Amino acid sequence: MRGPHNILRLIRTGATLERTGAMGVVLDAMEAPAPLRVAARVLGWPFKWLGEKGDPALPPAVRAIQALGPAYIKFGQILSTRPDVVGDDLALELRVLQDKLPPFSIEEAKRQVAEEIGQPVSEVFSEFSPPVAAASIAQVHRARLADTGHDVAVKVLRPGIERAFRRDIDAFYFAANVIEALSPASRRLRPRDVIAHFEGVVLGELDLRLEAASASQFAANTTDDAGFDLPVVRWPYSGRRVMTMSWVEGVPLGDNAALDAAGHDRAALSERVLQLFLNHALRDGFFHADMHQGNLKVAPNGDIVAFDFGIMGHIDEYTRRVYAEILFGFIRRDYQRVAEVHFEAGYVPADRDVDEFARALRAVGEPIFGMDATRISMAKLLSYLFEVTERFGMETRTELILLQRTMVVVEGVARSLDPRMNIWNVAKPVVEAYIKQSIGPRAAASDLWKTALVMARFGPRLPGLVEAALIRQAQPEPERAPSPWLARLLWAVVGLCAGLGLGALWMLA
């Protein structure tokens, strides 16, 4: 239930931050202003006794987030990729949330595996190791198939994880309702829609059959991507709470010392991880939406290997073109065109001034060109972008939440590999290639051809529709004179189908 009882959950969140000592650490890392610090202390200190203790052996921030549960851990994982927002030290501390959380027992894991695949673990696997990685939702075991001898990774959901996530999401809904009630201006950000989107993503992540399907589709899309690889799903040994994939050796992408020791070029890896993401998002419209360091490895041959396909993003062709035009406009510093695209797509209300919006975008874009990443404060940039969107009445686009979030995470991963990486320079060739393919004569011909194919499906029905319309028009109602408009419209559709088909064939030729 999304009722007032969730007040206690939110109070306990602040109390846990205070009790574990994380409140001051987080406020310092975020460089919070004095009024916010005072408010946080005043509201948190009286309820300190309600907070979770957490594991005293852990650093304060990790201790608090881990004690608060899986939804908060997801948020901590995102912050671990943003040293420019929370600082290098805190980002490094939070990285343990990616795949180094306390595991559950191997006996419980074996029980779940046996239930899902319908056979005892000892009959299916000749070896089944203790957990090698444990994250917020599941943990992974290394095993060996008894029949083939192949090494595999067996992913098993945490017991009770569904209930834990529903409890946190319930509290998030309550917080969104309170925010909208107390601050009407926040409604343009659609906080309840954002939580609903997050809920849908998380619930999908809790069914490993869907994750296996996503991995299979992702593999089909990226077969020809140089320097990128994925493990193979073992369908006979997978189910709702268990997923088995081929085992892949590699160095974690977040371990810079190990990458250097293995002789990998971190600057090249930094560029590749960003360009791979952009290719998947723009070219395929289907991308890995949880690309933090814990889900990426570097194979001995230098390939980047992705894991954990529970959160995948999808954007339609039209939205991809809009997104690419916006990126391309920023790269070319054509802020007028960027502003026009926002208006054409309906992202900004039509009653606002497009020229004024273009000037506001210039104030966002100009400071970052010609700078290396070490001089760019992403926190300040995002803060200014928020001010711009608020001033021009832009609403949150829920269909772009995953794309925007993943862009932030991937850029953080890339910068952790090479702090001097410039996102715009690296993105330029990918975006330019997509623009050439999706906007121009060839793209127009492709669109016409697709339209003709869709309309041609109605071809066999058109004669009957025309005949039925003519019969109806020949027997008009007494009070209304017959009208030839419907028949003319249907014949126009026939002509349009023929014209589109011939036009598309001519342009493709």
What positions carry a catalytic annotation? 290
| Rg of the chain, C-alpha, whole Å | 27
d(CA 184, CA 187): 6
Contact 140, 154 (CB under 8 A): yes
Rounded Cα–Cα distance for residues 46 and 15 (Å): 8
For residue 362 the two structure tokens come to 């210039």
Alpha helices in 150-242 (DSSP H): 161-182, 191-205, 208-221
3 state SS of 466: helix
The SS3 call for residue 348 is coil
Contact 161, 137 (CB under 8 A): yes
Taking residue 198's Cβ as centre, other Cβ atoms within 10 Å add up to 19
163 phi and psi angles, rounded to 5 deg: -65, -40
DSSP string over 77-112: HHHTT-HHHH-HHHHHHHTHHHHBSPPPPHHHHHHH
At which residue do the structure tokens 């406009």 appear? Answer: 329
Residue appearing with tokens 């369908």: 235
Cα distance between residue 321 and residue 341, in whole Å: 10
